[in-house]
Amino acid sequence: MKIARKVLVAFVVSVATVAPVYSQAGKASADGETWEYLVVSFGKVYFSNPLTDPDSKSLGRSKLISFSEAGFIVAQEGMSVQRYMDTLGKFGWELVGVVGAIGGDQEMLFKRPYREGRSQKEAELIKKEAELLAKARSDLSTGELVDLDEVERIAARDQHRRSQEDRMRTALSSVTAFQFKIKSLSSSAASPKDSDVRVELVVDGTTNLLRDGNKYRASEAKKLAESAASTVMSAARVTETNTYGGDSSLAFYLGDVKVSVEVVITVNGKEKVVATKQTGGKW
């Protein structure tokens, strides 16, 4: 049952490290950006030597192992806390300070731009992880027959899906020419060897497209949608699928990575989709 315990630990880490995300409060900065904050303690920070700790070396957890072996840097690492912070970093949280200590435990302050609806989506993700963990525990405790290969396969598949989603989110965060609203972003890859990512984005074209109160040009809206989709493909380093006649809509359906962009204009408080662009390709 050692393998089963290893799988369960992976689930526990995933749930525990992102659960504090929902201790949040928004605050507007001078430039109009709104922030949310997270104060969390991972417990006491334990350090270990990557050269002498066999688990750290064999599992590849150390970030200093190469430097230590070469003699450039000889230091100990708080590898467990680093993993937790790496997880929060993937969800957009940045460490901005250490508030103090609680009985020897470090109290850390994280910050990220506030995005409406993001916490709800993260809550849904964590709920699914918790349900998987509960089911795995139930199967083990009730004596039900458990296929460890299948448990590990599902865990690896789900981890791969999250990795692909994180890769796309990172690409989107690097784009400065457009402000995207993520309508949906998900991976349904069947295995760690597959790619199957779909992202639906909304670009507000009100400022750039609207003229004389309620007029716009469809041709300009189309160019904006095409430019936004092309920028996302480039930022994510996705090569568009070659299709007969360069049909990007067909590339969308054939591509392992699917990008869909809607351009909207807001008039009298109502949003209207004025252009769309779909394309797709491979990482």
Look at residue 139 and tell me if it is in a domain.
no
Query: 202 pLDDT exceeds 50?
Result: yes
**Is 129 inside a domain boundary?**
no
pLDDT in tens, 32-60: 678 888 888 877 777 777 777 655 555 55
Domain assignment of residue 126, yes or no: no
pLDDT score at 4: 37
Q: What is the mean pLDDT of the chain?
A: 79
Looking at 59, 89, 113, which one is the last position of a domain? Answer: 113
Residue 58 counted as domain residue: yes
* In-domain check, residue 45: yes
Strand order in the sheet with 34-40: 26-28, 34-40, 105-113, 94-102
The answer, yes or no, to whether residue 8 has pLDDT greater than 50, is no
Query: What pLDDT score does 23 carry?
Result: 43
- For residues 95 and 153, state if they share a domain: no
Number of independent structural domains in the chain: 2
Residue 224 pLDDT more than 90?
A: yes
Range of weakest confidence among 11-20, 63-72, 164-173 = 11-20
Q: Percentage of residues in the chain with pLDDT exceeding 90?
A: 27
Q: Is residue 12 domain-shared with residue 92, that is, in the same domain? A: yes
Judged against a pLDDT cut of 80, whether residue 144 lies above it is answered with no
pLDDT at residue 76, as a whole number: 79
Mean pLDDT for 190-203 is 91
Q: Would you state the pLDDT for residue 104?
A: 58
pLDDT score of 220 more than 70: yes
Q: CA-CA distance, 139 to 254, in Å (whole number)?
A: 39
Do 105 and 167 reside in the same domain of the chain? Answer: no
Domain assignment present for 65: yes
Looking at the structure, tell me whether residues 29 and 152 fall in a common domain. Answer: no
The per-residue pLDDT for 5 is: 35
Domain of 191 in residue numbering reads as: 147-282
pLDDT value of position 18: 37
Q: Given 95, 113, 131, which residue is the final one in a domain?
A: 113
Residue 241, domain member (yes or no): yes
Domain match, 229 and 173 both? yes
The C-alpha angle 186, 189, 193, rounded to 5 degrees, equals 140
160 and 227 both lie in a single domain:
yes
The predicted model scores a pTM of 0.52
User: Do 104 and 153 reside in the same domain of the chain?
Assistant: no
Residues 156 and 260 in one domain: yes
Asked if residue 119 belongs to a domain, the reply is: no
- pLDDT of 27: 52
Percent of the chain with pLDDT over 70: 78
Q: Are residues 22 and 67 in the same domain?
A: yes
Q: Are residues 109 and 165 in the same domain?
A: no
Nearest to 36 by CA among 25, 28, 44: 25
Q: Across residues 145-156, what is the average pLDDT? A: 84
What would the pLDDT profile of 255-282 be if each residue is shown by its tens digit? 899 999 999 999 988 899 999 999 999 9
Are both 162 and 92 inside the same structural domain?
Answer: no
Q: Do residue 92 and residue 154 come from a single domain? A: no
